[in-house]
Amino acid sequence: MSELQVNRSTFDQVMVPNYAPQAVIPVRGEGSRLWDQEGNEYIDFAGGIAVNALGHCHPILVEVLKAQTDKLWHLSNVYTNEPALRLASKLTEKTFAERVFFCNSGAEANEAAFKMVRKYAYDNFGAHKHRIISFSQSFHGRTLFTVSVGGQPKYREGFEPVPGGIDHVPYNDLAALEAAMDDSVCAVVMEPILGEGGVIPADAEFARGVRELCDRHNALLVFDEIQTGVGRTGELFAYQGLGVTPDVLTSAKALGGGFPIGAMLTTAKAAESLGFGTHGSTYGGNPLACAVAEAVVDLIDTPDVLAGVGHRHQLFVEQLEAINSKHNIFTDIRGSGLLIGAELTEAWHGKGAQFLAAAREEGLMLLVAGPKVLRMTPSLIIDEADILEGMAKLERAIAKVLAEG
Number of residues that bind ligand PLP (CB under 6 A): 15
Q: Check if the beta carbon of residue 278 is closer than 8 Å to that of residue 74.
A: no
273 is annotated as contributing to ligand binding: no
Tell which one of 120, 139, 155, 237 touches ligand PLP (CB under 6 A): 139
Q: Check if the beta carbon of residue 152 is closer than 8 Å to that of residue 197.
A: yes
284 counts as binding ligand PLP under rule CB under 6 A: no
Whole-angstrom distance, CA of residue 77 vs CA of residue 266: 19
197 is annotated as contributing to ligand binding: no
32 is annotated as contributing to ligand binding: no
Tell which one of 55, 192, 195, 209 touches ligand PLP (CB under 6 A): 195
Radius of gyration of the chain (CA): 21
Tell which one of 224, 247, 294, 395 touches ligand PLP (CB under 6 A): 224
188 counts as binding ligand PLP under rule CB under 6 A: no
> Can 139 be counted among the known catalytic residues?
yes
Within residues 241-260, the interface with ligand PLP by CB under 6 A covers: 252-253
Sign of CA dihedral 24, 29, 35, 41: positive
> Can 173 be counted among the known catalytic residues?
no
> Can 224 be counted among the known catalytic residues?
yes
Whole-angstrom distance, CA of residue 36 vs CA of residue 169: 43
Tell which one of 227, 266, 377, 379 touches ligand PLP (CB under 6 A): 227
Q: Which is nearer to ligand PLP, 31 or 256 (CB)?
A: 256
Instruction: Tell me the three state secondary structure of residue 187.
Output: strand
CB of residue 251 to ligand PLP, shortest distance in Å = 10
One-letter amino acid of 35: W
Nearest alpha-carbon partner for 104 in 69, 143, 132, 130 = 143
Q: Which is nearer to ligand PLP, 236 or 252 (CB)?
A: 252
Query: Distance between alpha carbon 294 and the CA centroid of its chain, in Å?
Result: 18
Determine phi and psi for 105, rounding to 5 degrees.
-160, 175
For the annotated catalytic residues, the residue numbers are: 139, 224, 253
* Binding site residues, ligand PLP, CB under 6 A: 105-107, 110, 139-141, 191, 195-196, 224, 226-227, 252-253
